[in-house]
Amino acid sequence: MVADDVVFCKGGGCTAKLGSAVLEAVLAKLPQQDDPNCLVGFATSDDAAVYRLTDDLAMVQTLDFFPPMVEDPYTFGQIAAANALSDIYAMGAEVKTALNIVCFPETMDLNILGQILLGGQSKVTESGGVLAGGHSIQDVDVKYGLSVTGIIHPDKILTNVGSQVGDVLILTKPLGVGIINTAQTVGEASAAAVAKAIASMTTLNQAAAAVMHSFEVHACTDVTGFGFLGHLHEMLDDRLSVEVDAAAVPVLAEALDLADEFMLTAAAQRNRNHLEPFVQFDGVPFAVEEVLLDPQTSGGLLFSVPEAQASAVLAALEQLDLPSGLVGRVTKRQAWEIVVR
Amino acid sequence: MNVERRVVDGRGLQCPRPVIQTKRVLRELPHGVVEVTVDNEIAVQNLAKMASQMGLPWSSQTISEQEYVVEIRVGSAAAGGESTGTAGSVETADAETAAGAAGPAASDSSPQASRQHSHGTSLSSGAADGGPTVVVLAADRMGEGDEQLGRTLMKAFVYALTEADTVPDYVLLYNGGVRLAVEGSDCVQDLSVLADRGVEIMSCGACLSFYGLTEQLAVGAVTNMYAIVETLLGAGKIIRP
């Protein structure tokens, strides 16, 4: 069955993302535009762009699409949508409209496309947004995603980079879905592991974002293709450091077993190479290192709150059955930007 | 002694497939050498990571930009010295696995995130005399005086390093030195040889960016000032030609 579906599903999800080193090099060459109403743009490699419309209203825009990482088209649609919507939540914003973006082979069964779009729409509806259109082109491989627009008060934007010394970091989904998806393509993942990964990837970050709004959140991002450590690195903005408590990081247990069986993706190794100058692993098991570098598709929110509020945040997340963890502490800049213990 | 050789052709396969195929062969083979051909360097790094985790010595060779050969030794072939590789590569690869087995404390002086980068030939000198040896290349030429002569001397210096019995642990390139590690430089090949001998080649990212050479980096990794400071502070010996 895996072999038959190989055209639909090969190395998909956020594993397909361009490496951040390559991307940074290209983006650095684009001419900079200077519009004071563009509150969040290229400069900070943030999750979404934010444009101020009036003093109390800003528009948040994001676009995300990728090849399938699961066999079932409806599930793929749901995951792609949950992943695209997540960027809106990571900015602290509210979803309003979404547009589909589709690449689909002319020769493939259109019912598959129908299932993908239905899955996507189900998540847009769950988010409270409206699916308002889209664009599709022929391509040799399937790709799907959405461009989502949300709104936010300009004073309430949560960027990647506002963390303060004394904050703690909270992650709201378990890591390891990339390894499990990859293992599935080579027939090595158990059905139970795949089911857990799918349940995690199809979960909207909406509820976790709602929890954030009751607390003093200084920075937020969502964990996707650059892996937990890659997105953490972006949050530190060359001025802070973090001590990561590896044991507290929520992880899908099967992903650790599969990492020990060397389900090693190219994307995770690219993440490792990119992060090499910044990360010190101090006595961390190999499988944990791999999971911390594993590209996540539709991963959780990673946000920074003052330590005094951490237990209340975790209690609120636990009430919602979101497998979260207090994964690290923000300190002033140390010799190593990130130390994992 | 006859060493059984098995061949895995991982070209055209995406990770983790070459790694998984190699793992299966390694588990079937009590003693011998598995030779894996892959078409990208990331696959080499993933194979190296697996071999290190299994405690097996390995070495790699770049045939061309699309062809890399990784050799992993298992059983008596891992313990013994005879092979197509150099004796040095086998010995030091064992040293590396021994360091891994001794736990993280044994390798505190080097950035652990980078240990999968170390080829089988690394850690030859290690922390024996108080810390790693670091060669600093802060310009693309050596010494004061004529520029052309300075460039020729630098090329000769890097070449001579590749011939040294004991190679340094790190080569740090900053300011004009980063020009040595980018496409079109005479030194790329020699620096690659050093990298294959386990030397960490680290170029200053801000400097590459300043000269607009980030995309042209042809050998080694990008580093930052904190890591440079850390490396220099932890060095047993700093050599600046």
**ipTM for this prediction:** 0.85
Q: Do B14 and A10 touch (CB under 8 A)?
A: yes
pLDDT, position B85: 36
**Cross-chain CB nearest to B104 (options A263, A276, A282):** A282
pLDDT, position B221: 85
Query: Among all residues of chain A, which has the CA nearest to that of B203?
Result: A277
Average pLDDT, integer, range A46-63: 94
Of B199 and A79, the one with more pLDDT: A79
Average pLDDT, integer, range A251-267: 95
Query: Among all residues of chain B, which has the CA nearest to that of A179?
Result: B16
Q: How far is A333 from chain B (nearest CA, A)?
A: 9
Residues of chain B positioned with their CB less than 8 A from the CB of A25: 214-215
Q: Do A269 and B224 touch (CB under 8 A)?
A: no
Q: pLDDT tens digits for A201-258?
A: 999 999 999 999 999 999 999 999 999 999 999 999 889 999 999 999 999 999 999 9
**Cross-chain CB nearest to B226 (options A264, A272, A337):** A337
Of B1 and B170, the one with more pLDDT: B170
pLDDT, position B197: 83
Q: How far is B56 from chain A (nearest CA, A)?
A: 14
pLDDT at A289 over 50: yes
How many residue contacts between A and B have a Cβ separation below 8 Å?
Answer: 91
pLDDT, position B124: 28
What confidence tier does B118 reach under pLDDT thresholds 50, 70, 90? very low
Q: How far apart are CA A329 and CA A306, in angstroms?
A: 10
Q: Do A281 and B113 touch (CB under 8 A)?
A: yes
Q: Do B205 and A281 touch (CB under 8 A)?
A: no
Q: Do B226 and A335 touch (CB under 8 A)?
A: yes
Q: Is B166 exposed, middle or buried (0-12, 13-18, 19+ CB in 10 A)?
A: exposed
Structure tokens belonging to residue A134: 């889209």
Query: Among all residues of chain B, which has the CA nearest to that of A259?
Result: B50
Give the single-character DSSP code of B168.
-
Average pLDDT, integer, range B80-84: 42
pLDDT, position A26: 84
**Cross-chain CB nearest to A283 (options B104, B223, B227):** B104
pLDDT, position A20: 66
Active-site positions of A read: 14
Q: How far is B186 from chain A (nearest CA, A)?
A: 24
CB atoms within 10 A of CB A247: 11
pLDDT, position B96: 37
Among A18, A273, A339, which would you mutate to test the B interface (most chain B Cβ atoms within 10 Å of its Cβ)?
A273
Of B224 and B87, the one with more pLDDT: B224
* Percent of chain A scoring above 90 in pLDDT: 86
Structure tokens belonging to residue A168: 């703690």
Largest CA distance in chain A: 57
Least confident segment among A203-212, B31-40, B128-137, B210-219: B128-137
Which helix (DSSP H) or strand (DSSP E) does residue B190 occupy?
helix B188-196
Query: Among all residues of chain B, which has the CA nearest to that of A11?
Result: B14
Q: What is the 3-state secondary structure (H, E, C) of chain A?
A: CCCHHHHCCCCCHHHHCCCHHHHHHHHCCCCCCCCCCEEECHHHCCCCEEEEEECCEEEEEEEEEECCCCCCHHHHHHHHHHHHHHHHHHCCCEEEEEEEEEEECCCCCHHHHHHHHHHHHHHHHHCCCEEEEEEEEECCCCEEEEEEEEEECHHHCCCCCCCCCCEEEEECCCECHHHHHHHHHCCCCCHHHHHHHHHHHCCCCHHHHHHHCCCCCCEEEECCCCHHHHHHHHHHCCCEEEEECHHHCCECHHHHHHHHCCCCCHHHHHHHHHHCCCEEECCCCHHHHHHHHCCCCCCCEEEEEEHHHHHHHHHHHHHCCCCCEEEEEEEECCCCCEEEC
Q: Do A263 and B16 touch (CB under 8 A)?
A: yes
What confidence tier does B235 reach under pLDDT thresholds 50, 70, 90? confident
Q: How far is B144 from chain A (nearest CA, A)?
A: 32
Query: Among all residues of chain A, which has the CA nearest to that of B232?
Result: A335
pLDDT, position B209: 82
Q: pLDDT tens digits for A83-98?
A: 999 999 999 999 999 9
pLDDT, position B121: 31
Residues of chain A positioned with their CB less than 8 A from the CB of B40: 266
Of A242 and B231, the one with more pLDDT: A242
* Percent of chain A scoring above 70 in pLDDT: 94
Q: Do A283 and B14 touch (CB under 8 A)?
A: no
Q: Do A266 and B111 touch (CB under 8 A)?
A: no
Average pLDDT, integer, range B155-159: 90
Query: Among all residues of chain A, which has the CA nearest to that of B100?
Result: A283
Q: pLDDT tens digits for B2-38?
A: 788 999 999 999 999 999 999 999 999 989 999 999 9
Residues of chain B positioned with their CB less than 8 A from the CB of A263: 16, 20
Of A157 and A29, the one with more pLDDT: A157
pLDDT at A41 over 90: no
Q: What residues of B are in the A interface, CB distance below 8 Å?
A: 14-17, 19-20, 23, 40, 42-43, 45-46, 49-50, 53, 103-104, 111-114, 116-117, 202, 205, 209, 214-215, 221-224, 226-227, 229-230
Is B132:B125 a contact under the CB 8 Å cutoff?
Answer: yes
pLDDT at A9 over 80: no
